[in-house]
Amino acid sequence: MELAAPGRIVSVNLAVVGTGPEGRTGIDKRPTDDRVALREDSGAGDTIGNPKVHGGYDQAVYAYAREDAAWWAGEVGRDLPPGSFGENLSTEGVDVTGAVIGERWAVGSALLEVSSPRIPCRVFAAFWDVDRLIKRFTERGWPGAYLRIITEGEVGAGDRVELVHRPAHGVTIGETFRAMNGDRELAPRLLTAPELPAKYRERVEKWLATAPPA
């Protein structure tokens, strides 16, 4: 199997704590010049405002592609520097939307595993203050990817992003995002990805159990 050429980390971004629709939030992330230790379920120095819905093992690190950010900058008519999507890792040369659930990236001295797409929420919409952002973000279908920390380590700007493993099932971040946003035809395919987070598997299984006969 031929793996993709390495990409790179443009910046590692940490939270500037603020207040959003749900209270304390760490969505406003800014680049740091320091190398950041990825430990357990987060990056050292980062902040998760609402741990009930953000962070945790399956959402330890969030990556967003600078190529996709450039498109959005043109769409909304303003600069969107690294961290504007609330991402911890701003990448370049990485097909984040096309990443396969369960594929693994070697970044710095850490090993990360793609787990799921980001589902936009009220906090993100309020952070940008752009009309109909959740609907527009969903329609565009470039959600970025949450990652698990498989091997703890340090990451920093300029590090290579090396794809070291890609599961054969081929279920991508983009497909998962579309399924979670109404494309039920993709539901059976999602269950072929054992690395999909349990909360998504449970939702898909419920859909299939209650689906009307074909």
Domain boundaries, the chain: 7-170
Q: How far apart are CA 89 and CA 167, in angstroms?
A: 22
Report whether 128 contacts 83 (CB < 8 A).
Answer: no
**CATH class of the region 7-170:** mainly beta
Amino acid letter, 54: H
What residues in the chain have per-residue pLDDT under 70? 1-2, 18-24, 49, 213-214
pLDDT digits 0-9 by tens, 128-169: 999 999 999 999 999 999 999 999 999 999 999 999 999 999
Contact 132, 16 (CB under 8 A): no
Q: Taking the alpha carbons of 95, 101, 103, 104 in that order, is the dihedral positive or negative?
A: positive
Per-residue pLDDT at 21:
66
3-state secondary structure at position 76: helix
What is the pTM for the complete model shown? Answer: 0.93
Contact in structure between 148 and 102 (CB atoms under 8 Å): no
Please count the residues of the chain.
214
Strand 110-117 to 104-107 pairing: antiparallel
pLDDT for 214 equals 57
Q: Which of 23, 85, 29 is nearest to 50 (CA)?
A: 23
SS3 106: strand
